[in-house]
Amino acid sequence: MKPVWKSAPVTLIVTVAFVAVFIGMLIVGADVISPSSTDVLHFGGMLDAFLEKGEWWRLFTASFVHGGIIHAAANVVSLWFLGRLFEIRYGSWNLLLVYLSGVVVAGLGSYFFNVFVVTCGASGGIMAIAGCTIPALFFDRKIRSGDRNVQIIELVFAILLNVGLGFYLTVIDNAAHLTGLFWGFLVGIIIFSQSKLSASGKLLKSTAIVVLMGLIFYGAVPRKHTYRYWYYVMFNSFIKNDVETVELLNTNSNPENPTESIAGINEASIIWNQNLKMLDLFKQAPDKLTFDIPVLRELFHLREKGLKHLKQYVITGDLAFVDSVSSTNLKIKNLPPIKYWLYFNENPKPELTGENDTIQTVSTTIWYDSLWQVTARHHAAFYRQSTIDYAGNAHGAVEDYFMNGTLQMKGFYSRGIKDGHFFYYNENGTYSSYGLYINDNPSGTWRFFDHAGLKSYDMAYTKEGPRYLDGWNKDGMQTLTSGNGYLTFYHPGYAVSDSGGVSLGMKQGLWIGYHPDKSPYYREWYENGILKTGKSRDTINAIFIYDKIYQEPRFPGGKEAWIAYIKSNLKYPENVSDSLVPPTIFYHLTVNEKGVITYAEPIRRYGFGFEKEAEKLLNDTLVLEPAMLRGQLDRGRHTLYSISAPSGIASNRLF
């Protein structure tokens, strides 16, 4: 028996080439199981757009590139057994002719029937060998009839199995397989239909095969209508323009110099207008692109719309435009995915999805009653969709909804603490208020709206305290400018609820309030924002005198008594290391008119049993002095007590 390198040198050389190319891919970092499209194309894989560009050599090189070790191993084994047997029986020249012409014609078949599919592998050539073997066996009279039939049946079974799998597994390119199979069958008929031929006759047949392959190549490869390459170039231009847009905005983003920011936005807007014009020039879209092109057009429209909103925010400083940018980005995120994604480099613009956040969270829905106390769904007035950490704190993007599905609030939390822009909405979908929270405290300028979504007033939160800036009445007329003038607030239906003067951003002089039925509620006198005296009436016309609008629920005996109560009753959680720093936990409390705590919720949870021990102090046996609102008993939700471990400092921060 001859050694393989003598009996089947072509099979050996091609097999070694398979292995060498695959090792080369691994050396440069390609994944052993599933290399990226970038790696496949870098080593010579085929993409129809690249053929239209003129890189016809990929029809040949793609056969030596494989999409992972399983793909490579399958083709190595198939070629070794099928190709080696064919070469030993019918010669190296015939194998080389069938294989090389097979990979070229199979590649053309893949190009003709597929759109924007990265392909690689020798399967087309191997199927050509299989197809050629059938007529070779049929015309080979040296093989006994029984053996011939068995071999043909086995070969046909293997072919049908391979092709059948291609109809179920999308990773298998049946277009290339079938084209290679039919081509090989045709070549086999040409080569083996006459067994006794002179050397010139064999050369003539080989020449005919090459000429036929050339005619197929000439007929399949376009020379004028290169829409796939045009679309590929256009798509990559879009991606690069998107990156350039982000860079422009980042480079020119200067809060202290809005002119620079606007210049960057204008330049980015020009880029996206160019994208849209480029897309409009694409007139020869095939049927398979009729889905992607409208999606891209909508994407460009939304990008341009978002830039306009951003520009208005820079000009006006109104956070409503930030909300509009956020809504536009959400629409972009919810667009149908692009079917043919043709940017094969690394993602140039990773999405900010919190992947760098080391805090593990899970998604959840929480139901709240009208006082924002956790309740069952059938008792709920609101519900929250958010992610929470291990202790149950909201962390990341949070959205609250009315029960009819209308958005009530959206913002960002950091482990239970409000941190970022927040937007609140009325049940009719209009704004209620919006502004910035920093470490759970409002900061900067907030804008407030009435129940119908009309502008009511702007408030600046400063180190000196909150200050009114501008205000408008129900008719949209500005009654407060730069902190001077007067304000009027309204009940639903636009009956007046409160009105009074403002000077330097603070309440000044007489303020009058009314109940929803328009009966008198209170009269208050202010000097530089400080309440001097107030008189209120309840619904039965009883009169109350006060010098403080709101008095929080108080622990009997005051701050010192509260600290003593904590030190006497609070226990450190069991099974917790002494090295763990005891947290201070702040609570939202709901206290009824009798001073009984009916609901307690920590602003931030720490876990490890701290809340469980703290809440033992806030039970229904603890009676507080009830809250007072304008001299009258008030039942509501209050931010009140802080609780820390016995060795720490405990205080009521509102005393």
Q: Is 252 helix (H, G, I), strand (E, B) or coil?
A: coil
- Digit-coded pLDDT (tens) for 615-650: 888 875 788 888 889 999 886 555 555 555 443 333
Residue 103's pLDDT is 93
Residues 178 and 238 in one domain: no
Phi/psi at 179 (5° precision): -65, -45
Per-residue pLDDT, 638: 57
> What local confidence, expressed as pLDDT, does residue 472 receive?
97
Domain of residue 519 covers 450-547
- Residues 114-129 have pLDDT tens digits of 888 899 989 899 999 9
Please report the DSSP string for 130-185 in residue order. Answer: HHHHHHHHHH-TTS-HHHHHHHHHHHHHHHHHHHHHHTT-TTS-HHHHHHHHHHHH
Given this model, what pLDDT does residue 253 score? Answer: 54
Q: Residue 269's pLDDT is what?
A: 82
Same structural domain, 156 and 80: yes
Residues 106, 41: one domain? yes
- Among 293, 317, 333, the domain boundary falls at 333
- Is residue 190 domain-shared with residue 79, that is, in the same domain? yes
Please indicate, yes or no, whether residues 98 and 236 belong to a single structural domain of this protein: no
Query: Average pLDDT in the 35-61 region?
Result: 91
pLDDT value of position 641: 53
Which of 515, 547, 579 delimits the end of a domain? 547
17 found inside a domain = yes
Is 225 contained in some domain?
Answer: no
What is the SS3 string spanning 531-593?
A: EEEEEEECCCCCEEEECCCEECCECCCCHHHHHHHHHHHCCCCCCCCCCCCCCCEEEEEEECC
- Judge if 286 and 161 occupy the same domain: no
- What is the C-alpha separation between 356 and 340, in angstroms, rounded? 29
In a domain? residue 436: no
Nearest alpha-carbon partner for 296 in 308, 278, 312, 318? 278
Q: How many independent structural domains does the chain possess?
A: 4
* 300, 322: one domain: yes
**Whether 605 and 526 share a structural domain:** no
432 belongs to a structural domain? no
Question: Which of 128-137, 602-611, 645-654 shows the lowest mean pLDDT across its residues?
Answer: 645-654
**pLDDT at position 480:** 97
Pair (36, 101) in one structural domain = yes
Same domain assignment for residues 482 and 620: no
CA 212, CA 210: separation in Å to the nearest integer?
Answer: 5
CB 486 within 8 A of CB 480: yes
Domain-embedded: residue 23: yes
Domain CATH code at residue 11: 1.20.1540.10
Q: Say which amino acid occupies 188.
A: G
Find the range with the poorest average confidence among 183-192, 255-264, 334-343: 255-264
Least confident of 27-36, 257-266, 427-436, 562-571: 257-266
| Residue 393 scores a pLDDT above 70 | yes
Whether 536 and 578 map to the same domain: the answer is: no
pLDDT (0 to 100) of residue 59:
92
Is the per-residue pLDDT at 348 higher than 60? Answer: no
